Structure 1
Amino acid sequence: MKNQLHQLYAQEPLSRDAAYETLSRIGNGRATDIEIAAVVSAVNMRPAVLSEIQGFRDAMLELAHPIDLGGRETIDIVGTGGDGKNTFNISTLASVVVAGAGYPVTKHGSYGVSSNVGSSDVLQALGYTFTNDQDTLLRTLDRTGICFFHAPLFHPAMKNVVPIRKSLGVRTFFNLLGPLLNPARPKYQVFGTYDRQVARIYDYLLQDETGREFSIVHALDGYDEISLTGAASVRSRERQRLLHPQDFGLPALTTEDLHGGETAEDGKAIFLAVLNNAATPAQRDVVCANAGLAIHTIHPDRSLPDCVAEAAESLSSGRALGVLNRLIN
């Protein structure tokens, strides 16, 4: 670990192998809290580096609790978090809406670290019980159209890191890793990133993963999802484009429109308001935009406005609410 720390503090990027060794040591409990904090701080002090993200990801996936979907084709919608915008749980709501539209979802997420309320915080407040039992999760997926992979149960390596991340209270390279660590490796995935360089790194990594289709989102004003507050860069296997609110057939929003609650109970209230068709038009629109992009990732031949309309119908018909009710019950 000492050699890696010398490199990091000299602003020298770690090789993929060195990054793998570093995170393997942390994940296996062979690093002290001081060493972990030193690595996190040093990596945090400069832009993301491809070789390090590759090596860190290799180690995390090797140590992860695996899930075999048995050939099921699913989608995940997940952002890095750490954008500092304190929005409500847009990606989790979009996941429920997509499931309500008939597309199986395997959602990966965790507690909020650099934001007030994460996806796990809201689901726990709603009464969802986390598990990493494969049979239970697949049964839930088949019955409800969605299941949730609570990251701490699938990535035991994180137990040595979470207290330090909580103490730091800022985004770290683990924010960048999170969306890349879905243990089921779903066929389709929408990745949200708060940083353009991170979006490029994701694109490079995912181009090598044949058989997976993806959309990588970076809002130019810093959101890690489609915010409708301005233009967003969206990368897929085939192309990169700049999408504006009008491309979704929706009006532009303001930062205030997307503000989330301060507690899990606040997040729960917004969550239920959206699914019960009692939310503000802005809250509904941003959820439908992200759900629509997910559907478009599965069906790129369909127009974005048509995919948004499909998402909106999942909400207005009550099918999305039905998904949540079955999931919780």
Structure 2
Amino acid sequence: MSALAERRDLSTEETGWAVRETVAGRAPAVALAGFLAALRVKGETVEELFGVVEALLAAAIPVRVDRPCHDIAGTGGDGTGAMNLSTLAAIVAAGAGCTVVKHGGRAASSQTAGSADLIEALGLPLANSAEPCRGAGAGRFRYLFAPEVNPGLRHAVDARRGLGIPTIFNLAAPLINPARPEHPVIGVADAGRVRMLAETLQRLGRRGLVVHGHDGLDKLTTTDVSEVWIVREDSLQQLVFDPTALGLPRAGPTDLRGATAAENAERARAVLSGRRGPLRDAVVLNAAAVIVAGDVTRTDFETRLEGGIRQAEEAIDRGSAAAVLDDTREDRVRRDRQAGEVSP
């Protein structure tokens, strides 16, 4: 704390130690709140964030995946009240053939229901992390409930709730999926921290995209342009993307707004059933980002993304995106039945 009081940056080892103390339940809430607030005021660094992410991944419950997988998740805190675009985009990308292991939780400070609330309203299971995620059939999509797979973070709830501001844990959240997706799409609400997330993702050895909507959305937006960082092992490439360049109409400020879990689920089913409009446009755009995240460059970004949009639209229109819901529910019933057959 003395270093932070003097506005000195911490090392990866120092922030990692603080996280290990936290997840072990040894950090008093008052001390943790002070630590998080001081980091926020000073401004977090890549070294500090990397230390937090590494420690949280080490403390997470392991998840087995039998092939490269994708995820799309954001830092939250964008204040837009937008619908759960990442969750719907993940389902559509799975319908297009990607193996997607989505990591998320319930709404904390959001004005609308969180991703886990939507998943439950759609009748999908919050997956048991011990189950292997196989990349075929129903295994194309799996939702990991963050409190189950990152249980140590429960010790930080009181401190974070008491502060009421975004902290380094919010920045770490989209990076701590224990399935360790090779090709993630990371959304960042804070324009000043986009590059930091891109550099941290690179240090983790991942190939993916880090995005920020200029309207504040922690996704690719259709109401404005978006900042995009293409992350590769040996390079970071930045660009500004305008969805109208690919024929997507500009959405209005309220077109993407979400509501309760039940209302969001109703709108999600409508999109998956083929209803067109601004919500579908935003969903297929972000699903396309998931599809191309692992194999795109600055020079071919728009061309590849356009192809990804076509794949996402086809997944909806031929019914394979909607089928992901049924397949995932049936897969859970089958697993539960098998578990019952082998239990003593």
Q: TM-score, normalised by structure 1?
A: 0.90
Q: C-alpha displacement at 1:33, in angstroms? A: 1.7
> CA separation in 2, counterparts of 1:134 and 1:117?
26
Aligned 8 A contact 1:81 1:193 in 2: yes
Q: C-alpha displacement at 1:155, in angstroms? A: 1.0
Pairing partner for 1:63 from 59, 62, 67? 59
Q: C-alpha displacement at 1:326, in angstroms? A: 1.8
Aligned 8 A contact 1:140 1:147 in 2: no
Q: C-alpha displacement at 1:68, in angstroms? A: 2.7
For structure 1, list consecutive stretches of 5 or more residues without a partner in the other structure: none
> Over residues 8-37 of structure 1, what are the superposed CA-to-partner deviations in whole Å (9 max), with x where a residue is unaligned?
233332222111111111111101121222
The reply on whether 1:83 has 2:78 as its aligned counterpart is: yes
Residue type of the alignment partner of 1:307: G
Q: C-alpha displacement at 1:167, in angstroms? A: 4.5
> CA separation in 2, counterparts of 1:26 and 1:208?
23
Residue type of the alignment partner of 1:245: P
Pairing partner for 1:241 from 239, 242, 250? 239
Aligned 8 A contact 2:101 2:181 in 1: yes
Give the match for residue 184 of structure 1: 179
Aligned 8 A contact 2:124 2:328 in 1: yes
After superposing the two structures, state which structure 1 stretch, 250-259 or 190-199, moved more.
Answer: 190-199
Q: Residues 163 and 274 (structure 1 numbering): CA distance in 2 closer, same or farther, change over 3 Å? A: farther
Aligned 8 A contact 1:113 1:165 in 2: no
The reply on whether 1:124 has 2:120 as its aligned counterpart is: yes
The reply on whether 1:226 has 2:220 as its aligned counterpart is: yes
Aligned 8 A contact 1:26 1:160 in 2: yes
Q: C-alpha displacement at 1:191, in angstroms? A: 0.8
Give the match for residue 263 of structure 2: 266
In the alignment of these two chains, the number of paired residues is 320
> CA separation in 2, counterparts of 1:67 and 1:196?
31
The reply on whether 1:49 has 2:45 as its aligned counterpart is: yes
> CA separation in 2, counterparts of 1:159 and 1:150?
13
Residue type of the alignment partner of 1:318: G
> CA separation in 2, counterparts of 1:294 and 1:140?
15
> Over residues 254-275 of structure 1, what are the superposed CA-to-partner deviations in whole Å (9 max), with x where a residue is unaligned?
22111110x2222222222221
* SS in structure 2 at match of 1:148: strand
> CA separation in 1, counterparts of 2:246 and 2:185?
16
Give the match for residue 334 of structure 2: none
Q: C-alpha displacement at 1:61, in angstroms? A: 1.3
After superposing the two structures, state which structure 1 stretch, 109-118 or 94-103, moved more.
Answer: 109-118
* SS in structure 1 at match of 2:218: coil
Q: C-alpha displacement at 1:206, in angstroms? A: 2.8
After superposing the two structures, state which structure 1 stretch, 246-255 or 311-320, moved more.
Answer: 246-255
> CA separation in 2, counterparts of 1:194 and 1:265?
25
Give the match for residue 250 of structure 1: 248
After superposing the two structures, state which structure 1 stretch, 249-258 or 43-52, moved more.
Answer: 43-52
Q: TM-score, normalised by structure 2?
A: 0.86
Q: Residues 133 and 50 (structure 1 numbering): CA distance in 2 closer, same or farther, change over 3 Å? A: closer
Percent identity for Structure 1 against Structure 2 = 33
Aligned 8 A contact 2:65 2:135 in 1: no
* SS in structure 2 at match of 1:54: helix
After superposing the two structures, state which structure 1 stretch, 82-91 or 166-175, moved more.
Answer: 166-175
> CA separation in 2, counterparts of 1:17 and 1:146?
35
Q: Residues 317 and 105 (structure 1 numbering): CA distance in 2 closer, same or farther, change over 3 Å? A: same
Q: C-alpha displacement at 1:161, in angstroms? A: 1.4
The reply on whether 1:202 has 2:203 as its aligned counterpart is: no
The reply on whether 1:112 has 2:117 as its aligned counterpart is: no
> CA separation in 1, counterparts of 2:5 and 2:166?
19
The reply on whether 1:16 has 2:22 as its aligned counterpart is: no
The reply on whether 1:160 has 2:155 as its aligned counterpart is: yes
Q: C-alpha displacement at 1:176, in angstroms? A: 0.5
* SS in structure 1 at match of 2:119: helix
For structure 2, list consecutive stretches of 5 or more residues without a partner in the other structure: 331-344
* SS in structure 1 at match of 2:184: strand
